[in-house]
Amino acid sequence: MSDLVRNGTFADGSSVWRYEKFEVEPQTVDWKITACDIEGLRRTCAVIDHRAPADSRLVQPIVLEPGVVIKISAWVRAEQVDPVGKGVHLVLLDHYEAESAELHGTTEWQPLRFYVVNSGAAPKTVQLAARLGTWGSLVGGQAWFSDIMAQAVDEPERGFPLFVIGVTK
């Protein structure tokens, strides 16, 4: 199975990504595609910029086949992200328990990841989000994302969470 995320490197700009935001102060939140260096390699990145506390995310649907373990991952970094509140993270919007660790403050580039498996009998479409903040937890700062991927693996790596997505009612 190939990568379930389309344009996860942002090489095609904003193509296939939907941007959603909630901001208290108008015109204090935006995002852009820009060049960046990750471990000495030139990449294309998406940057979410909150100049005031807010919640925003880049979203795209992916389809989880039944019984297949999927590794959700990305290269990310935080810049001046508030220490209190929800930081830079990856999440399945339909299943908020399925999320990566989060970054706060200012960090170097690092990989974030978590694993998910669809325990249902049919394929399930979920909304994958690269996010800064969340509902009820608004933060300021910048979130940088590149190489967002969702790929089938034989089993999850030790030390990283595996979330089982069941059949919804």
Tell me what the mean pLDDT of segment 78-103 comes to: 95
Q: How far is it, in rounded angstroms, from Cα 68 to Cα 120?
A: 10
The reported pLDDT for the residue numbered 168 is 54
The reported pLDDT for the residue numbered 125 is 95
Report the 3 state secondary structure along 44-56.
Answer: EEEEEEEEEEEEE
Report the 3 state secondary structure along 36-82.
Answer: EEECCEEEEEEEEEEEEEEEEEEEEEEEECECCEEEEEEEEEEECEC
pLDDT band of residue 81 (cuts 50, 70, 90) is very high
Tell me what the mean pLDDT of segment 145-161 comes to: 95
Kindly report, residue by residue over 60-80, the tens digit of the pLDDT: 999 999 999 999 999 999 999
Kindly report, residue by residue over 114-123, the tens digit of the pLDDT: 999 999 999 9
Q: Mind listing the domains of the chain with CATH numbers?
A: 18-165 (2.60.120.260)
Q: Which residue reads 């328990």 in tokens?
A: 97
Q: How far is it, in rounded angstroms, from Cα 163 to Cα 160?
A: 10
